[in-house]
Amino acid sequence: MEAPGGLTVFYPDKIKNNPNPPDLVLTGFKLFNKEITPLQKKSPLSKHISFTEKITLKYNQNSIAFDFVAINYTNPGKNQYLYKLEEFDQDWIQPEGKSTANYTNLNPGRYNFRVKAANNSQVWNEKGITVQIRILPPPWMKWWAFVLYALLAIATLYFFRKYSLIRAKIKNDLVINNIKNEQKNVIQQMKLRFFANISHEFRTPLTLIIGPLEELLSDKRLKPMVKQNYHFMYQNARRLLNLINQLLDIFKIESGK
């Protein structure tokens, strides 16, 4: 290394202890294994990932990866890393080989991606780096969607209740109409029976009257005036009997006999 007094030479493998925790930098961010930069169209990054503190992703941008590196040139092969996605990982994860953290199929929600590093002397940068991640819910899981679902459920219950009440009213009206019709039929049958009974009561006496009148009319000894009166009585009795017979016939038709 160049110094004011000349060149300074050092041997990294001769250094016994490195007390300085390493700086840590995020070097890359990927979605579905594709590198993301701020210059890309519809990029979730507004600036380089190394300067990014918050990332907002769509519900279908749920497979992510972070690349990171510790700034330590003293035997960098012995640098160590631990990372953790809070609200997803329960414990810190130590990567093997590559300094990369991969996550797939993340659910909508809020996460904190944290990463810290240690130098060759296992001196840790405990503060590390934290990036807040928010994965938005799909449209059908947003608050307004649940409000819509609730309104649809309420509307469905309302119309189902209204339909049930209308159906119950129609059914009740049919029952009432059937009862009324049955009552009308009963009353009608009672009227017919009453008229039938009255008709029978009239028919028997009329028959008893018509018979003697026929005998009297056949008597040739009757005077014309008397015979005319008997004939008049006979005609009216027959007319009344015919009316009674018609009433009885109507009763038989109405009663289905």
Output the pLDDT for position 238: 86
Largest CA distance in the chain: 184
Residue from 205, 257, 214 nearest 233 by CA: 214
Annotation: CATH topology of 145-255: Helix Hairpins (1.10.287)
**pLDDT of 5 higher than 80:** no
Which pLDDT tens digit goes with each residue over 241-251? Answer: 888 888 788 77
Q: Please give the model's pTM, rounded to 2 decimal places.
A: 0.58
Class of the CATH domain delimited by 2-139? mainly beta
Phi, psi of 204 (to 5 degrees): -60, -50
Q: How confident is the model at residue 143 (pLDDT cuts 50, 70, 90)?
A: confident
- Domain range annotation of the chain: 2-139, 145-255
CA distance 192 to 155: 54
Contact 57, 133 (CB under 8 A): yes
Residue from 104, 113, 105 nearest 55 by CA: 113
CA distance 116 to 93: 11
Residue count (the chain)? 257
Output the pLDDT for position 3: 45
What is the percent of the chain with per-residue pLDDT over 90, rounded to a whole number? 51
Output the pLDDT for position 127: 92
Q: How far is CA 126 from CA 4, 74, 83, 93, 242, in A?
A: 35, 19, 11, 14, 123
Q: What 3-state class would DSSP assign to 90?
A: coil
* pLDDT, average across residues 115-136: 93
Q: How confident is the model at residue 12 (pLDDT cuts 50, 70, 90)?
A: low
